[in-house]
Amino acid sequence: MTLADVAPPARDSISDRQRASYEANGYLCLSGFVGPEWLDELRAVTAEFIDASRSETASGKVFDLEPTHTADAPRLRRLISPVDQHPTYARFTFEGPPAQLAAALLGGPVRYHHSKLNFKWSDGGEEVKWHQDIQFWPHTDFTPLTIGVYLEDVDAEMSPMGVLPGSHRGPLFDQYAPDGAWAGSMADADVAALELDRVVYLGGPAGSVTVHNCCMIHGSLPNNSPRPRPLLLQTYSAVDSYPISHIGANGVLGSSGGRICGGEASQMLTIDGRTMHGAPDWSRKGPPTIFGSQQSDHADG
């Protein structure tokens, strides 16, 4: 029986030692954290999507396909926003082991940001170059973390994700190309200065979980094995951490972006050491006028 099978309270999902290790090193790798019942359900749903991709000829809002993808030989880069595609993914992300683990690491309810399922297909599944995540979707702090779940066994031949321990406390690198275009990866000169001999590659049996901080330098090589390497990823932040609008992916979050897992938003936030109680979230119903709020329409506030 695994930790996930007994649905532990969030704080008990990991030990104090593991929590301290995450704070110091910026990552965790928890072998077999997700139990067989969840894995069977996730694999079954994922197989349905792989089959559905056979009818697709180009990338779109659901699938990111490799150029050589065909109906007879599917080759997927990514299933986009799984929580918006199937209730199993949503239940897993909002109520299951990843949400519990995020709450344990961040000390309470957490704010969901986004999810994706990266496949890194067999026989050459594409490289992910060295990069940091936070530049893709800046927040009001550096609490965001991404929790990945390996749906299959992952060994060194399959090019598991590599992380550079402690780099979450170092510089935040420019990830634009010399011509000013967004590259989404570190410049070659910056990579050359890294101590890549310190990189830790996070493999493990199916159900193993990876955690990395938003500032962590990480990446992975092409998958030259005969087996795909599906990695289900979900990103959370502390409940009082907010994505900064109009930068990167923050402007294109799915309908669940900002959802609170394991509690409710208090609307309290601290910026530059100053704490305030922000107004309610009016994104669904629109804001009241200041006149209605101040005079009598307190139901809106």
**Percent of the chain residues past pLDDT 70, beyond the cut:** 91
pLDDT of 1 reads: 29
CA distance 155 to 203: 6
Domains defined along the chain, listed by start = 4-265 (2.60.120.620), 267-301 (no CATH)
Residue 166 binned pLDDT confidence (cut-offs 50, 70, 90): very high
**Percent of the chain residues past pLDDT 90, beyond the cut:** 74
Mean pLDDT, rounded, for 273-279: 90
pLDDT of 12 reads: 64
Mean pLDDT, rounded, for 183-188: 96
Mean pLDDT, rounded, for 248-273: 87
pLDDT tens for residues 18-41? 999 999 999 999 999 999 999 999
pLDDT tens for residues 70-84? 999 999 999 999 999
pLDDT of 298 reads: 53
pLDDT of 220 reads: 93
Between 113 and 268, where is the model more confident?
A: 113
pLDDT of 121 reads: 86
Residue 236, beta-bridge partner list:
112, 145
Q: What is the pTM of this model?
A: 0.89
- Residue closest to 210 by CA, chosen among 122, 133, 126, 107: 133
pLDDT of 22 reads: 97
Beta-carbon-side half-sphere exposure of residue 270 (alpha carbons within 13 Å): 6
Between 218 and 292, where is the model more confident?
A: 218
pLDDT of 4 reads: 34
Tokens of 65: 């396909």
pLDDT tens for residues 83-105? 999 999 999 999 999 999 999 99
| Cβ–Cβ under 8 Å, residues 93 and 174 | no
Strand bridging mode 128-131 / 63-65 = unpaired
Question: Residues with Cβ < 8 Å from 117, sequence gap 6 or more?
Answer: 46, 78, 79, 82, 89, 230, 231, 232, 233
Among the ranges given (41-50, 66-75, 248-257), the one the predictor scored with the smallest mean pLDDT: 248-257
